Amino acid sequence: MHANPVSISLSSYGAEFVRQRGQEQFLDLLAAAGVTRVELREELFTRTPDAAALAAAIAARRLECLYSTPLELWTAQGVPAPQLVHKLETARALGAVALKVSLGHYQAGCDVAALAELLPAHGPLLLVENDQTAQGGRIEPLQQFFQRAEHLGLSLGMTFDIGNWQWQGEPAQHAARQLGRWVRYVHCKAVQRRADGRLAAVPPQAADLEDWAALMAEFSPGVVRAVEYPLVSDDLLALTRAHVHDLSRLGLCAIVSKEPSHA
């Protein structure tokens, strides 16, 4: 039984720390920790990257790449974001298997068919995430969007952020049941309310890992799952390796239990 693939969102190491060092400086760490995919973050680049050189460095370490942008797919006017094509081109130049965006202001009247002309035939795959906003962090509009996209035969999928549902008071288990068939990537983070009343991402406890394992049963076996919570330590390699191990094990028991006995 192989462990499940794990990604690291580079924001996990702290925005300022990553900006100071450069995202490319974390590739050796990820490879040594047994990571499958690196999630590059557009907002953490301090200058336009040399896409070809960065893509080559990622490939040399046998890592997959996902490119994350804070772009909202649907504008407030209800049309696809005009920057989408450029973001997809950037993701392709980086060798990314997918581009991650948030839903934005999708409504029932939005022309989802218009996306067909914008999505590349041979990748990267467009992944739409539930974010922390009222427009993009609720189950209903996401479900409506994916149902419409599926009806039109569009090639796209969902990034399911486990923690983000709490910002809009949506239950993650219910979201997983409603949206699970479209999920291609899972962002993992536990959430804690701070003294000032605001919610913040935190590393998981044992109970969180148990809850996440239950959610994985709603998704396709072997879905890539990502660390998107703070990783802070004097020994980042050991810490990263430990969390990669924990996330890679999520869902293994469920898969084993479904396999027929050959005794």
Query: 3-state class of 212 per DSSP?
Result: helix
The average pLDDT across 56-67 equals 98
The average pLDDT across 173-178 equals 98
The average pLDDT across 123-128 equals 96
Q: Which of 52-66, 219-233, 241-255 has the lowest mean pLDDT?
A: 241-255
pLDDT greater than 90 at residue 198 = yes
Domain boundaries along the sequence of the chain: 6-258
What's the whole-number average pLDDT of the chain? 94
* Local confidence band at 253 (pLDDT 50, 70, 90 cut-offs): low
Query: 3-state class of 19 per DSSP?
Result: helix
* Local confidence band at 78 (pLDDT 50, 70, 90 cut-offs): very high
* Local confidence band at 2 (pLDDT 50, 70, 90 cut-offs): low
pLDDT greater than 80 at residue 240 = yes
pLDDT value, residue 121? 87
Give the C-alpha separation, 25 to 45, whole Å: 12
Encoded tokens for 197: 């009343």
Q: List, as one string, the DSSP characters of 85-109.
A: HHHHHHHHHTT-SEEEEEEES--TT
Give the global pTM: 0.94
CATH number of the structural domain 6-258: 3.20.20.150
Encoded tokens for 35: 């990571």
pLDDT value, residue 93? 98
The average pLDDT across 217-224 equals 97
pLDDT greater than 90 at residue 251 = no
Is cis: bond before 124, omega within 30 of 0?
A: yes
Give the C-alpha separation, 199 to 81, whole Å: 28
Residue 213 burial (C-beta neighbours within 10 Å; 0-12, 13-18, 19+): middle
Share of the chain above pLDDT 90, in %: 92
